[in-house]
Amino acid sequence: MMKIKKVTCHWLSAPVERPFTSSRGWLYNTRNTCLVEIETDSGIVGWGECYGPSAVAKAFIETQLAGQIIGMDPFDVEVIWEHLYNRIKDYGQAGMAIAGISGIDIALWDIIGKATGKPVHKLIGGAFRQEVQAYATGLYFIDMDRVAEEAVEEAQKFVSEGFRAIKMKIGLGSLQKDIDRVAAVREAVGSDVRLMVDANHCYSVPNAIRIGRKLEQLDIDWFEEPISPEDVDGYVEVSRALDMAVAGGENDFTRFGFRDKITRKAMDIVQPDVCAAGGLTECKKIAALASAHGVECVPHAWGSAVGLAATIHFLASLPSQPPCLVPQPVLLEFEQEENPFRDFLAEEPIVQKAGMVAVPGGPGLGIEVNRDVIQKYRVA
């Protein structure tokens, strides 16, 4: 029986040449990630990633989680998940505790895949597709004197690179400025490009409905995080008031955290992050719960090539929503702001071609981690 021998967390940090922000107001002047490396006594190594503050994720895993799994069989991935969750549920039902479990869970699936010679998607149900359509996440706020112009320029760049779907930020503090910016982008990219907006929960319920009705006139695919994630009743109200899809859930954790929003159909699309919501093990359960209630699952993705690869395997394993003769393509969030961990951490970077990303076919996550990149950017 294979056993877990060692758990190591790598906190990586890199400066951002052109800092950017969203409606949340904080400036992204560095990119950070916490990678989880799990070694086995057979020599197989698995990699995972945690969403959120890297120093916190590292500290939580090292002090609360790592010691719990030493000597366990990595194939017992469900047993390990339940053991860790029940160990910390008194104080860690959400947030960084679950992000820590997520990183461990992803690394375990990577190990299982490498040990069996199978890609992760084969282990979690198989691949419904061999490639996924990527949408470019970008159009943050950089130059506040040119917020509309820079958004148009970036959107046109994405289209020229092959993207057929784009998600942009809104939440400038003025509903009219937001609408003007979205309208400028829609005019620039045309009607053939799918366009989504993300407010990062900056609106009140009345303002979300007001701007949502105007966004519908611009053929917006979905309105992401219009209001605060805690306000389930508010989400119900916004979703019922608008014809376009309302999305959210990147700030939710585990099937328990998603349960009420799904069963009440508080949103049309849930967006669990495999690096935050509980890893692949838990996200499959969240997706199944969503499917049972007629809610789409389009995962959130932010971070390095490790988390991106895990997200692609997860997406590949999801059936079309809903199944039909010509299914609506499942969408991969492919964040496009400056990020060396996305671009260089994998020996063979994950790239899009004509807006499509191939599902990795190698064992485990299907990527080889470049340790030189870890050494270059490692903080601790």
Would you call 257 exposed, middle or buried from its count of C-beta atoms within 10 A (0-12, 13-18, 19+)?
buried
CA 59 – CA 97 distance, rounded (Å):
10
Mark 94-109 as b/e (b = at least 16 C-beta within 10 Å).
ebbbbbbbbbbbbbbb
Active site residues: 300
The SS3 assignment for 363 reads coil
Going by C-alpha positions, the residue among 206, 303, 300, 294 that lies closest to residue 248 is 300
Mark 115-149 as b/e (b = at least 16 C-beta within 10 Å).
beeebbbbbbeebbbebbbbbbbbbbbbeeeebbe
With DSSP H G I counted as helix, E B as strand and the rest as coil, what are the percentages for the chain, rounded to 5?
40, 20, 40
